[in-house]
């Protein structure tokens, strides 16, 4: 049942009640909404924009089925004008956005949506839902990649992701941000992401003998022998791996790696490395998993722990240190006039905006300028058209977006690449033009 | 694309690689897996079991399509034996579980699944994914209900839930745990949960005049007039509400409530209450939202803030203080023999288990006993059959589960109802029978 995520009913009720009122009173002029994040989570230096492809998928497919209209009618909440409007609704607006994989900062729009007010309003809930989550996870995954630049990094998070779609989109966002792949098979099929897998403790436990379990697995997966060795006693199991290696080698099977999943991973890795090396298994790698995050990865790298790859699960897929972003999708212009909300602590800059990014002589970002879309500033304008009159413009594929993300992460100024908050933070200047537009919006609404 | 959540490919790759090895080596005896949570999040006193209905939906519908088999074949990773097995696979096993809405504690199985090993293994990822998330959210929502027993509580979290399915299932888990409803329309349709909605700031901003916005909304939704009054100046807007009330009343429209969404909510509520009362709007309620959690709700209740209802969004839907549970789905028995994992810090109790709950003279839970399924102890056995040979047994509906949850929350011992960790925690005794089974499992595997 919950697989009906492409339903336009995946929205907040108030979108529909507001729509009815917009239609009742003829508020169907062009509206401009922007999605942005108000502030960075504690300890973070940047976010990585992600989720645009799924937003465009959603907008392209947007329509109500006859059953959905009938259900809405049956609630008794809506009038015929609204039901008629919804029955033929398609997304006909424009979208401008930052490319996926672009580092971004507070108040910078990741997406600008221009459409008749009822339409632009209706899509709010799902647009936020999709952009927020992937940006959240890509931003976390980018830190994993920066913490362990050379390691194989695989998303293992499906089981503790917040339900199924989160597991799929976390796999995508993680790969986009530079991970090497995921354990989630369906993400492999849907997004063409490399998939990785080893074995579970239950596989070992189902056998009466650990050695037999290892041999069974190796013979069934000869091309990908990764043996989980912590079910009972890690070092004892490493010695068993050395013991069976010659028999398997005689059958043409190499033991690609062993996996550690509990205890002091760095210490076990050192001991296991010594056991494997002494047994001639110098080509057998060590892969680790279990409560990992960017700080643990950095510790292993700094300590020179002999671990070549990591499975990162829960703390990636739920972004444990910052499980949400303070983001919003706000009306910035209606009927050609800039608008803004002035609620305490939640005021925004008015009007359509653009972000210009300047680079230093080494090609590293040196500062952004947030300005009005019709202003021109020095640097690269990051917000570009991606959908016109409901038709998607040519977009980079996931591999291209991933390359863009990796290149961008590598050229971030070193203080921003650190796991701790940079001081001073990355500079984002507000242009005089934007200040003027905002002042004028306030004056016009007569609420100084 | 991500709406294909009922695909059996929504699993970890290692399930399939292990399956191949199980089949290759004839490990198709009966396996027993149990799902449980290892420990409570910090500051918590209990969890509320949830998600069983979706697990049973998943198991009942489990099958591979021809396209999915073809895709698996195309990966080149799997042999014909596995592909043939998957092509005709259906869930034929038994499930025992705690009823949804039952308070539960560390190490207590929420679900026991008995099936041929390959089948029981394959479903692991999605079973955890479904049970973990709803139990996480129901446990959080129960605290909201306990914090504000009399208030109207509505889930507003879709936009910042972790993608779409999380939004839907958070709405369900929240309602199950005692909230009054959700803003998520599709959750209303799928689960028959009451839906609630007000208006957004964009609605106000789209109008040049706040009064006109209020009147437009009221005339389009005369039966449900809840006016958002914090877009510019909360108290000024409250005075506007008083000003328009007579005009609307003349049209037969009552202003049901005003909504606050920013600033010092308790202080604004007091001032707005005074303005409304002075203007004769004593029947107009105050509804509040914005960064709410159980602690904020309790503060408002303790301070006697005149707020009758709350919209709780992000902090409910992402369970911000504990965005995941330390849970597992572990092999406890294979081929009639109890098993367990002994990894450092992750050891489990062996064999099939039952939980007996004792009650005091007032009907409050007085202590649980975790024991082997074939042992008999004093109290109520919480784990009951819910699916037999792949067929679902009669199950309570969501309303019934919600009533069960509310009754259970009300009869929790008062220290457990508090928002702070109870000292001592709720007692869960390990029976001598279970200790014996576990010792025997260790002895048998020859790894003391």
Question: What residue numbers bound the domain in which B407 lies?
Answer: 13-138+322-445
Same domain for A287 and A215? yes
Residues in Cβ contact with B433 at an 8 Å cutoff, skipping those fewer than 6 apart: B371, B372, B375
Place B445 in a pLDDT band, splitting at 50, 70 and 90. Answer: low
Q: Which two three-digit tokens encode residue A118? A: 């009822």
A77 and A133 share a domain? yes
Angle formed at CA B76 by CA B73 and CA B82, multiple of 5 degrees? 50
Q: Is A353:A382 a contact under the CB 8 Å cutoff?
A: no
Q: How confident is the model at residue A441 (pLDDT cuts 50, 70, 90)?
A: confident
Contact yes or no for A1 and B340 at CB 8 A: no
User: Do A250 and A383 belong together in one domain?
Assistant: no
Give pLDDT tens digits for B91-130. 999 999 999 999 999 999 999 999 999 999 999 999 999 9
- If asked whether residues B200 and B340 sit together in one domain, one would say no
Higher pLDDT, residue B181 or B344 = B181
Same domain, B249 and B112: no
B6 assigned to some structural domain:
no
User: Which tokens sit at B308?
Assistant: 């009758």
Q: Which residue of B has its CA nearest to A31?
A: B206
**CB-defined contacts A:B, below 8 A:** 366
Q: How far apart are CA B199 and CA B207, in angstroms?
A: 13
State how far the Cα of A395 lies from the Cα of A399, in Å rounded to an integer: 11
Q: Which residue of B has its CA nearest to A235?
A: B343
If contacts are CB pairs under 8 Å, which of residues 367-386 in chain B contact chain A? none
Give the distance from CA B268 to its chain's centroid.
32
Cα(A177)–Cα(A179) distance, rounded to whole angstroms? 6
Give B126's contacts in chain A (Cβ within 8 Å): 164
Question: A residues 6-65 near B, CB within 8 Å?
Answer: 6-7, 9-18, 20-22, 24-25, 27, 31, 33, 54, 57
* Interface predicted TM-score of the whole assembly (ipTM), two decimals: 0.96
Asked if B328 is an interface residue toward chain A (Cβ–Cβ < 8 A), one would say no
Residues of chain B with Cβ-Cβ distance to A159 below 8 Å are 12, 124-125, 128-129, 132, 329
- A198-A201-A202 Cα angle (round to 5): 110
Contact across the interface for B201 and A331, Cβ inside 8 Å: yes
Overall pTM surpassing 0.95 (yes/no): yes
* Interchain pair B158, A129: CB under 8 A: yes
Does residue B293 sit in the same domain as residue B230? Answer: yes
Pair type for strands A384-388 and A94-97? antiparallel
How much is the pLDDT for A448? 38
Condensed to tens digits (0 to 9), the pLDDT of residues B317-369 reads 999 999 999 999 999 999 999 987 777 776 788 999 999 999 999 999 999 99
Enumerate the residues of chain B whose CB falls inside 8 A of the CB of residue A262: 343-346
Alpha carbons A350 and A439: distance in angstroms, whole number: 8
Closest C-alpha to A261, from A281, A301, A291:
A291
DSSP string, B348-392: ---S-EEEEEEE-TTS-EEEEEEEETT---SSEE--EEEEETTEE
- Is residue B193 domain-shared with residue B303, that is, in the same domain? yes
Q: Cα separation of A312 and B442, whole Å?
A: 30
CATH number, domain containing residue B87: 3.20.140.10
Report the residue of chain B nearest A123, measured CA to CA.
B159
Q: How far is A431 from chain B (nearest CA, A)?
A: 23
Cα–Cα distance, B427 to A235 (Å, whole number): 36
Please give the pLDDT value at position B10: 97
> Residue B428 falls within a domain, yes or no?
yes
Cβ–Cβ contact A135 with B under 8 A: no
What total of structural domains would you count in chain B?
A: 2
- Same domain? B85 vs B113: yes
For residue B61, pLDDT over 50 is answered with yes
Contact between A176 and A103 under an 8 Å Cβ cutoff? The reply is no
What residues pair up with A333 in beta bridges, in sequence order? A32, A338
Residues 6+ apart with CB under 8 A from B176: B48, B50, B100, B101, B134, B138, B141, B398, B401, B402, B405
Show which of A291, A317, A343 is a domain's final residue.
A317
Residues of A in contact with B197 (CB under 8 A): 12-17
pLDDT digits (tens, 9 = 90+) for B32-58: 999 999 999 999 999 999 999 999 999
Q: Is residue A4 part of a domain?
A: no
Structure tokens at B250: 């003349």
CA distance B349 to B441: 9
From A248, A283, A317, the end of a domain falls on: A317
- Cα A75 from chain centroid (whole Å): 36
Give the pLDDT of residue A302.
Answer: 96
pLDDT band at B448 (very low <50, low <70, confident <90, very high): very low
Token digits of residue A72: 């809405």
Question: Which tokens sit at B138?
Answer: 């129901």
Domain of A169, CATH number, reads 3.20.20.70
Residue where one domain finishes, among candidates B284, B317, B350: B317
Q: Which helix (H) or strand (E) holds A32?
A: strand A30-39
CA distance B361 to chain A (A): 39
Task: Please give the pLDDT value at position B208.
Answer: 87
- The verdict on residue B241 lying in a domain is yes
Confidence of residue B25 (pLDDT cuts 50, 70, 90): very high
Query: Is A192 within 8 Å of chain B by CB?
Result: no
Which residue of chain A is at minimal alpha-carbon distance from B444? A208
A143 lies in a domain? no
Task: Spell out which residues of chain B touch residue A198, defining contact as CB-CB under 8 Å.
Answer: 14, 17
Q: Is residue B278 less than 8 Å (CB to CB) from chain A?
A: no
CB-based contact, B221 to chain A, within 8 Å: yes
């Amino acid at each position: 049942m919950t697989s009906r995520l492409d339903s336009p009913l995946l929205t907040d009720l108030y979108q529909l009640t507001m729509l009815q009122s917009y239609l009742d009173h003829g508020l169907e002029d062009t509206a401009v909404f922007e999605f942005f994040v108000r502030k960075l989570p504690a300890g973070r230096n940047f976010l990585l924009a992600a989720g645009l492809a799924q937003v465009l998928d959603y907008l392209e497919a947007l329509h109500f089925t006859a059953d959905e209209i009938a259900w809405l009618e049956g609630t008794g909440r809506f009038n015929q004008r609204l039901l008629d409007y919804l029955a033929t609704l398609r997304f006909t607006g424009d979208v401008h956005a930052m490319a996926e994989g672009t580092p971004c900062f507070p108040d910078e729009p990741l997406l600008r949506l221009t459409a008749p007010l009822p339409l632009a309003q209706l899509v709010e809930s799902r647009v936020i839902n999709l952009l927020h989550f992937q940006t959240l996870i890509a931003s976390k995954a980018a830190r994993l990649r920066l913490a362990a630049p050379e390691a194989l990094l695989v998303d293992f998070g499906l089981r503790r992701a917040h339900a199924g779609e989160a597991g799929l989109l976390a796999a995508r966002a993680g790969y986009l941000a530079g991970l090497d792949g995921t354990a989630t098979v369906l993400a492999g099929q849907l997004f063409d992401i490399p998939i990785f897998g080893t074995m579970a403790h239950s596989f070992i436990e189902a056998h009466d003998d650990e050695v037999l379990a290892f041999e069974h697995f190796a013979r069934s997966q000869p091309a990908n022998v990764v043996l989980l060795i912590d079910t009972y006693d890690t070092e004892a199991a490493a010695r068993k791996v050395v013991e069976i290696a010659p028999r398997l080698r005689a059958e043409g099977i190499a033991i690609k790696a062993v996996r550690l999943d509990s205890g002091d991973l760095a210490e076990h890795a050192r001991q296991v490395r010594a056991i494997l090396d002494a047994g001639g298994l110098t080509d057998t790698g060590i892969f680790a998993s279990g409560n990992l995050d960017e700080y643990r990865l950095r510790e292993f790298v700094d300590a020179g722990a002999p671990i070549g790859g990591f499975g990162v699960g829960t703390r990636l897929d739920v972004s444990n240190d910052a499980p949400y972003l303070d983001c919003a999708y706000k009306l910035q212009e209606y009927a050609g006039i800039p608008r803004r909300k002035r609620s305490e602590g939640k005021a925004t800059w008015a009007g359509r905006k653009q972000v210009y990014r300047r680079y230093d002589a080494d090609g590293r970002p040196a500062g952004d300028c947030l300005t009005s879309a019709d202003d021109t500033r020095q640097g690269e304008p990051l917000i570009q058209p991606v959908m016109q009159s409901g038709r998607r413009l040519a977009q980079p594929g996931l591999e291209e977006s991933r390359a863009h993300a990796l290149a961008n992460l590598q050229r971030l100024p070193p203080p921003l690449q650190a796991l701790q908050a940079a001081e001073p933070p990355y500079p984002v200047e507000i242009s005089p033009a934007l200040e003027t537009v905002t002042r004028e919006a306030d004056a016009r609404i007569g609420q100084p």
